[in-house]
């Protein structure tokens, strides 16, 4: 028996200890901010289902995690109901009607900072409409009951955590340029301290109207009128008509298989689902897992799959309502075989030899993901964002919420490298009404027809690789969900040709990879995964230790 146990320990290649997830039987919420997680658990306890709880968490994060939680941004919700139905709600921002291809270029054709900072950087926000549709279609509780906790957190205030207070002070650089943001989030320079009660009276009034009057207030009512007026007075593009015309798009989730697991994931305009399925397809036919978690050989194979996908992403991904995204061709078994066949088992392939045209889009780290599951077996994964931390840094006058800078997820100048060294492509050029390409990839893993795990992360392009790695950690290396989330991460995106590795990787491993031809760049943290796993009747929740988040259930 002892020998058997020892063999098992070696085979799974896990550390001798395991980090423990939070376990509960009836419901589980994982989000990046404890007050918001608590709101979700209370909604479940009050008889709401996972969709109700997700809607309430999304609204609460707009109050308690203002760098990414939002009313003024957009995102994706992936739902799998206990009865087997699935849905993908695309409530991402759209380019305003007045947007145009070269709107961020100066008279010399150089890209300006207007796509990232200020009123002109915002796409038409989708969050309120998206959450409203989710509640109408799949929720059980009345809308007002889902909005009220967020309205109360804003108007009565809550104790700021260390990480949120520090984030507002430092991460919000740029907010001081905009008087309304400076007043609301920076208290005109008398920064909020950890533990202080943070009251957002304007936001409380906005949420109160949304609770009483519904999403209509945001898109056609007083909120819409004030937002459009503010935009007009400051040279922004969003009009009352843009707000009124905003629609959440219901799309078919993308599905695939990996080692007997069914994967339900994000379709375009997310690039993430195609990426996850292509990379898993490439890896499934290799022996990478035998080398063990964290080994240079495993990192090498996974990185080569990443390199190929990100090359494809550059050329072929965009808004499917505007460009033809060849999803089937990118996931074609013959094509996947070709990619796999091109991987040298020993050596890194220089990215210059991996062919694709140009890279489309980049996203910043400041997005957020939350996962919810209920006792009935409904599961929800939401990733939403303002794009950059605190978005465009503009707070809508008198309304209390920040506006996104999602227009920067388009290619402001197709064909030219952006500030991250990524080259942007034609498929993702700006057009009125178009949705910018995204990397957000809320994902559900299924086993034998039942949910196995639900997960997602912020992190711009690294989102896709974070989700890939956490899934592999659970499936290939049998890690529990907390170990899978904690495990050190790495990222490669074809261009620039460098392998980004968290400091958790040993210098020896880095050395082995360098000898294989990689240029390694060390980083502190990659992503903030929020995951739930279903395990023998238990819901196991894992917040990411890289974040200030929590998992809680009942
Ligand atoms: N702005 C982050 C993303 O959509 O990927």
- Top mutation candidate among 94, 385, 418 for ligand 1, by most atoms within 8 Å of CB: 385
For the chain, give the mean pLDDT: 93
Question: CB 448: neighbour CB atoms within 10 A?
Answer: 8
What's the mean pLDDT in 275-297? 97
Statement: residue 264 has pLDDT above 70: yes
Burial of 507 (C-beta count, 10 Å sphere; 0-12/13-18/19+): exposed
pLDDT given for residue 511 in this prediction: 98
| Least reliable range by pLDDT among 2-11, 20-29, 329-338 | 2-11
Give the CA dihedral 258, 138, 378, 273, nearest 10 degrees.
20
Question: CB 113: neighbour CB atoms within 10 A?
Answer: 15
Q: Which atom of ligand 1 is nearest to the CA of 75?
A: 4
What's the mean pLDDT in 335-358? 86
Give SS3 for 262: strand
pLDDT given for residue 361 in this prediction: 37
Percent of the residues in the chain that have a pLDDT greater than 70, as a whole number? 93
Instruction: Write the CA distances from 528 to 209, 240, 383, 424, 433, integer angstroms.
Output: 32, 35, 11, 25, 30
For residue 159, give the nearest of 105, 199, 131, 187 by alpha carbon: 199
pLDDT given for residue 114 in this prediction: 95
CATH number of 253-354+440-545: 1.10.246.130
Atom 3 in ligand 1: residue holding the nearest Cα: 438
CA 433 to CA 351: how far, in whole Å? 34
| Least reliable range by pLDDT among 26-40, 90-104, 312-326, 373-387 | 312-326
Structure tokens at 467: 């989700």
306-339 confidence digits (pLDDT tens): 999 999 988 888 899 999 999 999 999 999 999 9
Give the CA dihedral 150, 94, 440, 273, nearest 10 degrees.
130
Atom 2 in ligand 1: residue holding the nearest Cα: 363
How far is ligand 1, taken at its centre, from the CA of residue 35, in Å?
24
467-510 confidence digits (pLDDT tens): 999 999 999 999 999 999 999 999 999 989 999 999 999 999 99
Alpha helices, H only, 46-161: 50-64, 127-138, 143-156
81-129 confidence digits (pLDDT tens): 999 999 999 999 999 999 999 999 999 999 899 999 999 999 999 999 9
φ/ψ of 212, rounded to 5, equals -80, -40
Q: Which helix (H) or strand (E) holds 495?
A: none
CA 2 to CA 552: how far, in whole Å? 35
- Top mutation candidate among 409, 441, 458 for ligand 1, by most atoms within 8 Å of CB: 409
CATH 1.10.246.130 domain range(s) in the chain: 253-354+440-545
Structure tokens at 152: 């109360």
Catalytic residue positions, numbered = 367
**Position 358 confidence tier, pLDDT thresholds 50, 70, 90:** very low
Ligand 1 — pocket residues by CB below 6 A?
363, 367, 385, 387, 409, 438-440, 460
CA 229 to CA 242: how far, in whole Å? 13
How far is ligand 1, taken at its centre, from the CA of residue 5, in Å?
44
């Amino acid at each position: 028996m002892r020998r058997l146990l020892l063999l098992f320990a070696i085979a799974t290649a896990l550390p001798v200890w395991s980090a423990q997830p939070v376990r509960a039987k009836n419901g589980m919420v994982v989000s990046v901010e404890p007050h918001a997680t608590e709101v979700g658990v209370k909604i479940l306890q009050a008889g709401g289902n996972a969709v109700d709880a997700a809607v309430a968490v999304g609204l609460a994060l707009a109050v308690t995690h203002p760098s990414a939680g939002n009313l003024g941004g957009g995102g994706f919700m992936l739902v799998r109901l206990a009865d087997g139905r699935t849905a993908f709600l695309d409530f991402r921002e759209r380019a305003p009607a007045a947007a145009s291809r070269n709107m961020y270029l100066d008279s010399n054709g150089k890209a300006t900072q207007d796509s990232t900072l200020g009123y002109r950087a915002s796409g038409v926000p989708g969050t309120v409409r998206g959450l409203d549709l989710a509640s109408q279609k799949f929720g059980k509780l009345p809308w007002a009951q889902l909005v009220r906790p967020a309205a109360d957190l804003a108007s009565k205030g809550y104790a700021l955590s260390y990480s949120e207070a520090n984030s507002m002070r430092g991460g919000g650089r740029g907010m001081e340029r905009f008087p309304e943001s400076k007043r609301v989030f920076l208290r005109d320079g008398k920064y909020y301290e950890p533990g202080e009660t943070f009251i957002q009276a304007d936001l409380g009034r906005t949420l109160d109207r949304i609770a009483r009057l519904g999403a209509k207030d945001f898109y056609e009512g007083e909120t819409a009128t004030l937002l459009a007026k503010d935009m007009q007075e400051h040279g922004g593009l969003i009009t009352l008509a843009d707000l009124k015309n905003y629609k959440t798009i219901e799309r078919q989730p993308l599905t695939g298989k990996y080692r007997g697991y069914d994967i339900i994931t994000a379709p375009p305009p997310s690039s993430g689902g195609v990426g996850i399925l292509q990379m898993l397809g490439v890896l499934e036919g290799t022996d990478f897992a035998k080398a063990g978690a964290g080994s240079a050989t495993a990192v090498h194979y996974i990185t080569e799959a990443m390199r190929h996908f990100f090359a494809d992403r550059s050329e072929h991904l965009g808004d499917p309502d505007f460009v033809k995204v060849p999803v089937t061709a990118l996931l074609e078994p013959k094509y996947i075989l070709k990619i796999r066949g091109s991987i040298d088992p020993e050596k890194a392939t220089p990215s210059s030899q991996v062919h694709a045209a140009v890279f489309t889009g980049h996203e910043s780290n400041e997005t957020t993901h939350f996962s919810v599951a209920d006792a009935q077996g409904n599961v929800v994964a939401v990733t939403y964002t303002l794009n950059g931390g605190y978005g465009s840094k503009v707070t809508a006058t008198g309304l209390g919420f920040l506006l996104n800078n999602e227009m920067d997820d388009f290619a402001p100048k197709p064909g030219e490298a952006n500030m991250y060294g990524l080259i942007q492509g034609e498929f993702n050029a700006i057009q009125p009404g178009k949705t910018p390409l995204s990397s957000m990839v809320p994902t559900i893993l299924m086993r034998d027809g039942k949910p196995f795990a639900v997960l997602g992360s912020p992190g711009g392009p690294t989102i896709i690789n974070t989700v890939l790695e956490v899934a592999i950690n659970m499936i290939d290396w049998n890690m529990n969900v907390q170990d899978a989330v904690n495990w050190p991460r790495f990222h490669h995106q074809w261009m620039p040709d460098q392998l980004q590795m968290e400091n958790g990787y040993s210098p020896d491993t880095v050395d082995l990879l360098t000898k294989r031809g990689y240029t390694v760049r060390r980083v502190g943290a990659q992503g903030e995964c929020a995951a739930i796993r279903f395990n023998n009747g238990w819901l196991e929740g894992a917040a990411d230790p890289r974040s200030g988040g929590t998992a809680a259930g009942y």
